[in-house]
Amino acid sequence: MIQMLKKHQFLLEELIKRDFKKKYKGTFFGMAWSVLNPLLTLMIMRVVFSHFFGGQIGHYTIYLFCGTLVFSFFSESTSEGMLSLVGNSSIITKVNVPKYLFLLAKNSQTLLNFGVTLIVFFLFCLMDGVTFTWIFILLLYPVFMLLIFNMGMGLILSALYVFFRDMQYLWTVLTQLLMYVSAVFYSIDSFPIRIQYAFLLNPIYLFIRYFRKIVLDGVIPSPGFHLLMAFDAFLVLGIGAFIYKKYNTEFLYYL
C-alpha cells in the first residue's frame, strides 16, 4: 500500500488541495469555519446543558469540548468520506487509480481541520486552569485510532452510498442518534454499572472517554482500554477494505 501511495503521491496531493479549496470556496471566513463550527456547537451545548450538568461535572466546558471535538472529527470525516466515490465518478470511470485515494484525500482534509481545532482546545484548557502533564502526548493514540476508524467507516459508507443513495440521509439520522449515546454532554457515572459497561460497545465513546481521562483526570487508561480501541478501529478498517476489494469492479457500473 505504501508503494501504491508513493506511485500516486501527486494525484493524492492534488485531490487534497482540490477538496480543501472546494470546501471553503465562496465563503467569507474560509478555513476559519473549521474552528467556528465546533466552537459554535460547543457554545450552544454549553448554554443548553450547563444548567443540567454543569454543576455536577468539573471543568464542564472542557468536558463538553472533549466530546464535541472528537465527535465533530468523526462526523465530518464519515460524512465527507461517504461521498468520495460518487463525487469523483468522472475520474474513477475514466482513469484506473486506487479508489481509496479519494477517501484518503477527504480524511487528510478533515484531519487538518481537526488539528487546527485541537490547538484551540488546548488554549481553552489553559484558560480553564487544566494542568498540562507529559501524558498529554498519549492523546496521539486516540487520534491515530480515530483516524483509522474514520477511514474504515468511510470505506463502508462510500461503498454503500454507491448502491444505496438514501444512505446519505440515513447516516445523518444515525450520527444524530450516535451523538446522544456517546455521552458528549453528560456523564455516565450515575448510570447502573451494566449500562456503563454497555457504553464501552460504542467506539466513539471510547475515544471521547480517553480524551477526558488524559485531560481532566490526568490518568492513563488501562491496557485493556487501549486494546479495545485498537480492536474496534482495525475491525472496521478490515471490513471496509474487504468491501472495497470485493466490489471494486462493480462500483463502475453504478457510478
Q: What is the pLDDT of residue 254?
A: 77
Expressed as residue numbers, the domain containing 84 is 34-254
Higher pLDDT, 69 or 35: 69
Q: 6 lies in a domain?
A: no
Q: What is the pLDDT of residue 58?
A: 78
pLDDT in tens, 157-214: 999 999 988 898 999 999 999 999 999 988 888 889 999 999 999 999 999 999 999 9
Of the candidates 201, 228, 34, 35, which has an alpha carbon nearest to the alpha carbon of residue 141? 228
Q: 5 lies in a domain?
A: no
Q: What angle do CA 5, 8, 13 make, to 5 degrees?
A: 95
Task: Quickly state the pLDDT bin for 63 (edges 50, 70, 90).
Answer: very high
Q: 220 lies in a domain?
A: yes
Contact of 111 with 148, CB cutoff 8 Å: no
pLDDT in tens, 88-144: 787 777 777 777 888 888 888 889 889 988 988 998 899 888 989 999 999 999 999
Q: 17 lies in a domain?
A: no
Helix (H, G, I), strand (E, B) or coil at 195: helix
Contact of 196 with 174, CB cutoff 8 Å: no
How far apart (Å, rounded) are the C-alpha atoms in residues 102 and 19?
10
Contact of 117 with 38, CB cutoff 8 Å: yes
- In the chain the beta strands, taken as DSSP E runs, fall at none
How far apart (Å, rounded) are the C-alpha atoms in residues 118 and 140?
11
Q: At what angle do helices 140-163 and 60-82 cross, to 10 degrees?
A: 40
Counted domains in the chain: 1
Backbone angles phi, psi at 95, to 5 degrees: -125, 135
Q: 109 lies in a domain?
A: yes
Distances (CA, A) of 199 to 6, 152, 182: 40, 21, 7
Q: 27 lies in a domain?
A: no
How far apart (Å, rounded) are the C-alpha atoms in residues 173 and 177?
6
Of the candidates 4, 170, 140, 141, which has an alpha carbon nearest to the alpha carbon of residue 78? 170
Q: What is the largest CA-CA distance in the chain?
A: 58
Q: 196 lies in a domain?
A: yes
Backbone angles phi, psi at 143, to 5 degrees: -65, -45
Contact of 24 with 33, CB cutoff 8 Å: yes
Q: 2 lies in a domain?
A: no
